[in-house]
Structure 1
Amino acid sequence: MLTIGLTGGIGSGKSTVAQWFRKHGVPVLDADKTVHRLLESDLSIISKLIGEFGPAILEENGKISRSKLGARVFGNEDARRRLERVVHPRVVECMNDELATLRDTGIEICVWDVPLLFEAGFELFVDEVWVVWVPRNLQIDRVLVRDKLSQAEVGARIAAQWSLDEKRNRADVVIDNSGNLRETECQLKELWNKLLRRLSSSDT
């Protein structure tokens, strides 16, 4: 099975690309959803995070508040690394379990949707990396409109991730999402057909 690591940055349009894969029958394993599920129900993860960050990260019902946890780690490099040490190994384990299940069904290609793929070192667990890229000025404009944030808030969120240019330089495949949806979909169709031809030729 070929595993594609799909990543980008805030405002790049990665979710749109992930949806294109789903629409075309390609399984997409979502790292963010896996994290949310673990924070909801994995007692070992919950216990470790309370030990790391204290009960202040909990809601009144005793569940972890993603917003409170996010506030503790945003802009704090040490806190972010402590969070990653607890959560990331379990995320990889869960996604590999899903991958094994897909492999047993005969699926030949799947996508790992990982927003912080390079930042978290998840490129080690995929066969190739596809990066959704837009110019920085367009990235800023899209986040300003979408999230109704101030210029400073948008800058802080973008600065918390690797730049899209840096990710593009390390990608195996780059999806330029600076145009309209139709242009992006045409590009994806071409890239997908190219991948299928490459896989077909490697089998012969």
Structure 2
Amino acid sequence: MIILGLTGSIGMGKSTTAKLFAEAGVPVYDADATVHKVYEGEAVSAIEAAFPGTTAGGKVDRQRLSAQVVHDPAAMKRLEQIVHPMLRAHHEEFLTQAERSGAPVAVVDIPLLFETGGEKRVDAVLVVTATPEIQRERILARDNMTAEKLDAILARQLPDAEKRRRADFVVDTSYGLDPVRQRIRDILDEAARMPRRRP
């Protein structure tokens, strides 16, 4: 089975592209959704113990937690030590199930793939892109989003041009869904014939 790492900067259409892979019958792992899941289950008591006052109603309050860790690298490290092993276990479980299902290709949707060295754990990287104008328009249309917030998020992410340079495949979502669906079909054909690269 070939593992495709799906990534892209904010507002590029990554979630939509992941849905289209799922629509095409490909197993898709969603890193963000998995974080939500552990924040509503297995991570709650450990996070409350490490960061008192950051949970409510049996789940992690992401805003309270963020307020405690965002400007404190040591706190962020403690949080990662709690959450990362849980996320890794979910990821492994997903890959085992995908392999068992006989799928030739599986997609792992990881927003900060390059930033976290995740490209070493996949066979090929697919970067979702769009024009800078479309990207800004999409993001600024979101609730509670400001130009300042957007600039802060983009500053933490590897620039789009650099991601595209390091990608095996690029999907441009600037022109609607049909070209994306066609591109996904082409990528799946090509990926199924690729040699496995991960260790």
TM-score, normalisation: structure 2: 0.85
Which is helix-richer, 1 or 2?
1
Give the gaps of 5 or more residues in structure 1: none
Alignment partner of 1:195 is 2:177: no
Q: Percent identity?
A: 38
Q: Output aligned runs, 1:7-22, within 5 Å.
A: 7-22=7-22
Question: Aligned-pair RMSD on alpha carbons?
Answer: 2.3
Aligned to 1:57: 54
Aligned to 1:114: 110
Change (3 A) 1:72 1:139: farther
User: Displacement, 1:5?
Assistant: 0.9
Aligned to 2:172: 176
Change (3 A) 1:174 1:77: farther
Q: Output aligned runs, 1:66-81, within 5 Å.
A: 66-74=62-70, 77-81=73-77
Q: For the residues of structure 1 that align with 2:72 and 2:162, how far apart are their CA atoms?
A: 22
Q: Output aligned runs, 1:99-138, within 5 Å.
A: 99-138=95-134
Alignment partner of 1:31 is 2:31: yes
Q: For the residues of structure 2 that align with 1:195 and 1:78, how far apart are their CA atoms?
A: 40
Q: Output aligned runs, 1:32-47, within 5 Å.
A: 32-42=32-42, 45-47=43-45
Deviations 1:173-196 (A, max 9, x none): 111222222222232223233334
Q: For the residues of structure 1 that align with 2:113 and 2:5, how far apart are their CA atoms?
A: 7
- Aligned residue for 2:111, secondary structure, equals coil
User: Displacement, 1:13?
Assistant: 0.1
- Aligned residue for 1:41, secondary structure, equals coil
User: Contact 2:40–2:58 (CA<8 Å) still a contact in 1?
Assistant: no
Give the gaps of 5 or more residues in structure 2: none
The alignment of Structure 1 onto Structure 2 pairs a total of residues equal to 195
Q: For the residues of structure 1 that align with 2:76 and 2:9, how far apart are their CA atoms?
A: 17
- Aligned residue for 1:29, secondary structure, equals strand
